[in-house]
Chains A and B, each alone.
Chain A
């Protein structure tokens, strides 16, 4: 993923007028890209996005997701102008979901069952509905309801920094992050791993090691730190055994918090 400075400076007029992506306030998780992703300055990158673009819900589908442009979740027209923002490639994962309302489904089902029972009794029948017929009836009603239900629409912006092999997902939602991870892997055949304190620490210490001081072995041998004192010399009246400050505070140590209370 090497950047092409000549291409990077291209900013079509259409992009200038459509830049609605705003970043004044943001929440994000960071990922490191493992694997080769095509350069976002090249056609291959945009083709991959197109191949995994968002497609609207079809028939009885309850969920669909795919890439859209970062500026407009109705657009799946990926090219240099709609994707590149300075050194970043910006796009978004759109997720549409719909579900038949359970209460409506039950109410319609009850009405339909009553109507069928009445019709059967009026016709001189037994007035019973078999299990299979109930299942078919419920499924038919669910399908009808689904068609009438508008989907909920979400879009999660993704910022890709090709030079650093970094991906920012602008949401903290666990499900959304998992979906981005999955779809990114499906699109580019590359993994993204969360940039956790552990991962980032390794990288920072690796950079330090290049400058001379290698603290990476110490990172591997870390032990958890207890910021409070583990034991207190004096025992609290009524307590058994060694008393920790933790137990004092967690038991509601009002004296520690409010010295005047014990006076």
Chain B
């Protein structure tokens, strides 16, 4: 008899881990945007101009929201309420005065359009090395966010945090709250 070995791909069979991380990060950026490194350095996360959702239930549909603070839109909350998770987002990460914008694709953790701070340095070589340092710093910050997520996701705290995310998803978005005032 031949024993069946589970097929494990690059995603470890948990292709939802990345989207769960990004969805959690979206909520966390609204609830408490500050992340702290062990040395006390603070990193702030803000979701920017692009959100891409994917349905996890029967119909794996995608919804893309662009421009005009989509995170505050009712469409984004509706997507969350309907069980979709974030698969890509444009994010602003700030550490001190340094700001970095990038698009994170959650399924692969690939990064696109990463804009590093203007590098300081007199020579081209100095500026290149400054860019490499900034990239290193960026990856440390991204790891900090992922590690923070994992410490919750893999612990008993996840149920409570999930409940908070669902309650947030069900609450009116900033756009929805603004509507009566506009009317």
| A residues neighboring B (CB under 8 Å) | 11, 15-16, 19-30, 85-88, 159, 172, 193-202, 204-205, 208, 213, 215-216, 218-219, 222, 224-230, 244-246, 248-250, 253, 256-257, 259-260
Contact = CB atoms under 8 A, between A and B. Distances in A.
Nearest to A229: B166
Contact of A27 (B55, B114, B128): B114
A229 B119 CA distance: 46
B106 A23 contact: no
B116 A19 contact: no
Nearest to B75: A257
A198 B143 CA distance: 13
Residue with the highest number of chain A CB atoms closer than 10 Å, among B13, B125, B158: B125
Contacts of A230: 83
A215 B150 contact: yes
Interface residues of B, number: 66
B39 interface: no
A224 B60 CA distance: 14
Nearest to A228: B83
B61 interface: yes
A226 B123 contact: no
Contact of A204 (B112, B125, B143, B169): B143
A219 B153 CA distance: 8
A172 B112 contact: yes
A197 B11 contact: yes
Nearest to A168: B135
A213 B155 CA distance: 11
Nearest to A177: B110
A193 B125 contact: no
Nearest to B8: A198
A200 B135 contact: no
Interface in B104-149: 105-116, 118-119, 123-125, 128-129, 131-133, 135, 143, 146-147
Interface stretch (B15-23, B28-36, B40-48, B91-99): B15-23
Contacts of B83: 226-228, 230, 244-246
Residue with the highest number of chain B CB atoms closer than 10 Å, among A215, A218, A227: A227
Provide the main secondary structure of the chain A interface.
mixed
Given A245-B83, A250-B82, A25 B116 contact: yes
A169 to B, nearest CB: 9
A245 B79 CA distance: 10
Query: 10 smallest A-B Cβ distances: which pairs?
Result: A198-B12, A249-B82, A228-B83, A197-B18, A218-B154, A27-B112, A215-B154, A23-B131, A246-B82, A197-B17
Nearest to A226: B83
A228 B128 contact: no
Nearest to B18: A197
B176 to A, nearest CB: 8
Contacts of A199: 10, 12
Given A201-B17, A219-B150, A257-B75, 8 more contacts: A23-B116, A27-B113, A197-B18, A215-B154, A222-B17, A224-B56, A225-B16, A259-B179
A259 B172 CA distance: 11
Nearest to A205: B150
Contacts of A201: 17, 146, 150
Given A172-B112, A195-B109, A246-B83, A226 B128 contact: no
Residue with the highest number of chain A CB atoms closer than 10 Å, among B17, B80, B146: B17
Contacts of A204: 143, 146-147, 150
B51 interface: no
A197 B106 contact: yes
12 contacts: A19-B125, A85-B128, A198-B10, A199-B12, A202-B12, A219-B150, A224-B20, A224-B56, A227-B84, A227-B169, A228-B82, A250-B82
